[in-house]
Amino acid sequence: MNNDLSLIDQNFVSVSVYNALYETEQGEQEIVLELRVKSDRSKQLFTIIDSQHIYSDSIQALLLARPNCKLISISHSIVLVWNEEKKNATLVESFCKDKHTSKLCVILKMTCEGLTYETSECDTLSDAISELHELTGQSITWHLQTCYDCRLSDLAFLGPTDERDELRCYRDAPEALQEEVETKYKFASLEALNSGVYFVSAFHRCAAWKPMRPWLKYRPSENKPE
C-alpha cells in the first residue's frame, strides 16, 4: 500500500498546501487545501469538509461542485515592491459564485501601509490584479514579489492556461534559454520551454525573484517586442 502511494506522489510535479476559509449559509470553517499539479496539466485537490474526504480538480472546481459553498478565501503573507521599497503585505484571494449566473469570480483584497484595497468580482486573477493597480492609483507603483510578477517565471503550457497554478520557473535554466522564453514566448524552442521547472502558484516566493521588464509586466502576451 505504501509503495502505491509513493508511486502516485511521484507523478505530481508540485504540491502546495493552503489554510483556507470555507463559508456557507451556516457559517465559516477553516479547512486545509492540498493542491497537486501533474506535468500533463491535470490537478488534484484534496481537503476534508465536515469529516468528508473531498477530491476535486482545482479550487475553482471545488467551489462550483459545492452548492452550499458561498466563498473560499486564502490569505497570503507576501512582500511588495512598493514605490521601489520592500513592504510586507497581506493578500487575500477569494473565490465566489456570481449571484446571477453561478459563474466563478475572483476577488483580491490587499493590505499594505495600513491601507486596504479590494477589487470587485473579476473573471480571472490577472483581471483582479489589474484592478488593484487601478485602485492604488498612478502615484503608487508596486509589484508582487512572487512568481506572478517574476521575470524568471512564465506560463507552463501553451494555449489557454491557469495563470494561478500553471507557472513554470526558469531560475535554474541557462541564461540564454531564459532570454529565449522571454523574447519568443510560445515560439521559443522546446529546449528553452522545457528548461523551466514547475512551481506551486502565482503567490509562491523565493530568494531568486527578479522584477519583470516593463514590457513583460502584463503577461501572457503574444505581441512582445522583437
How many CA atoms within 13 Å lie on the side-chain side of 148? 22
| Domain boundaries along the sequence of the chain | 2-69, 73-143, 147-216
Integer Cα distance of 78 and 219 in angstroms: 20
pLDDT tens figures, 112-128 = 989 999 999 999 999 99
pTM above 0.85, yes or no: no
**Percentage of the chain modeled with pLDDT above 90:** 56
pLDDT tens figures, 31-87 = 999 988 887 878 889 999 999 999 998 888 899 889 899 999 999 999 999 999 999
Supply φ then ψ for residue 27, to 5 degrees.
140, -160
pLDDT tens figures, 149-182 = 999 998 888 777 788 988 899 999 999 998 898 8
| CA nearest neighbour of 24 among 69, 54, 60 | 69
* Averaged pLDDT of the chain: 86
